[in-house]
Structure 1
Amino acid sequence: MINKLIAIEALRAATRDAHERLEHDLQVARPDASRDDYLHYLQDLRGWMLPFDAALWSAAWPAAMEAQARAGKLDWIDCDLRAAGMSQDAIHALPEAGFTPDLATLPARFGIAYVIEGAQLGTKVLAKALAPKLAPWSPRWLAGYGESNAKKWRTFVECLESSLASMEAQRVAAMAAADAFASLADWFAQRRQARLEGVPGAAVAVQSQAMA
């Protein structure tokens, strides 16, 4: 049992500004967020994660992390997009951000995973806010790890604390996390602007009747 959380607090402190900027600009987190906002969020999140997701979770991790159990998030997103009426070909044609972080070291990988696992933890709040607008649909992404959501986060934090004992390791992880937050915020902003400007391919049509 960890009594004093040092590494996670170092990451939170170092990424606070980038994290707050992302949350402030996130359309799907606003009170008036719609079903389309959720689908755009999924499309854009997929485009950001796709270039590095497989490499991230196939790299070396502490055994307790059970990394392969955390590796299916793109499948969750694709499941929701298909349920919304998108074909797999249309999903594969979605724009990619091109974000390819350096995953050579464990601290850097923890920094990137901190962003992704934190986003997954936050889906509980998002699911509650969006439920009335998405009912009767129960999206796969918002279900996350199900009843294991909190446990998965605790395990992540425990592994992070035991693996990032040095200040240098914490610095590398924090820099990777801050870069990831900034990249994600920039990507969401670019995609939102493209939709506003009517750029071809920026908005992908979906069929609400396909959702159940």
Structure 2
Amino acid sequence: MHSQAHDASAPSLLEALRAGTALLHVALEKRLPFFSEHLDADGYKRLIQAYYGFYRPMEAALYDSDLIPEGFDQVMRVKTPTLVTDLHALGLNEDAINALPRCSNLPPLDTPAACLGALYVLEGATLGGQVLRREMAQRLGLDAENGGAFLNVYGAETGRRWKDFLDYLGRLPLDTPAKQRGVDAARSTFSCFEQWLDGQQVLL
């Protein structure tokens, strides 16, 4: 990865990620069933199972790659354990969780920039989770103790951790081709996630 000091007019990595994923983000949000009047407790349970089926292999691929640039605290930001906690609260034992289907069609995470693009999607989802948490608490009576912890995975730290992540992205000097690899990976993460949820029949 090289400095892009020679092209000061180029968009930052964050600007490129926002612009490159905006439409995909909106499209997926419209298909998520959290605000559907038809979503019941069983539908929510299937949704969290599907999320687990994506996040577990996705986080494993990211964190096993050794390509994430220095400065990202994966211990603090890993989300799969919280999904496991929710699945236990929703009635699944360890064997049932281990038997859940897992996504094999993951975005290529073969460069540091690609890892950053994927992390942008996963970290950004924590912001939307705040709105979903309130909706699920009101509609289904869910909270951190009975199956809703993932929607509030960072709790009161959500805003600060998002800002810290944006600061982290801003410190990394990427040239234009690397930024494009980041955007491509972020777009692919959205697409793979939507295709996976679609295949699990949990989308509208």
TM-score (normalised: structure 1)? 0.80
Gaps of 5+ in 2: 1-10
The answer on 1:10 being equivalent to 2:19 is no
Q: Counterpart of 2:72?
A: 65
Q: Counterpart of 2:112?
A: 106
1:115 to 116, 121, 125: 121
Q: Counterpart of 1:172?
A: 181
The CA deviation string for residues 47-100 of structure 1, in whole angstroms up to 9 with x for no partner, is 1122231231353444442222112x1110111111111111111111112133
Give, in whole Å, the separation in 2 of the partners of 1:171 and 1:179. Answer: 12
The answer on 1:85 being equivalent to 2:91 is yes
Give, in whole Å, the separation in 1 of the partners of 2:110 and 2:35. Answer: 33
Residue-pair matches, total: 190
Give, in whole Å, the separation in 1 of the partners of 2:118 and 2:71. Answer: 18
Q: Counterpart of 1:159?
A: 168
The answer on 1:125 being equivalent to 2:131 is yes
Q: CA deviation at 1:133?
A: 2.6
Give, in whole Å, the separation in 2 of the partners of 1:99 and 1:120. Answer: 22
Are the structure 2 counterparts of residues 137 and 147 from structure 1 closer, same or farther at C-alpha, using a change threshold of 3 Å? closer
The CA deviation string for residues 9-41 of structure 1, in whole angstroms up to 9 with x for no partner, is 211111122222211111124465333332222
TM-score (normalised: structure 2)? 0.83
- Contact map agreement 1:47 1:97 (CA 8 A) in 2: yes
Q: How does 1:48-59 map to 2 (within 5 A)?
A: 48-58=54-64, 59=66
Identical residues among aligned pairs (%): 31
Which residue identity is paired with 2:18? R
The answer on 1:23 being equivalent to 2:9 is no
- Structure 1 counterpart SS, 2:193: helix
Cα RMSD after superposing both structures: 2.3
Q: Counterpart of 1:201?
A: none
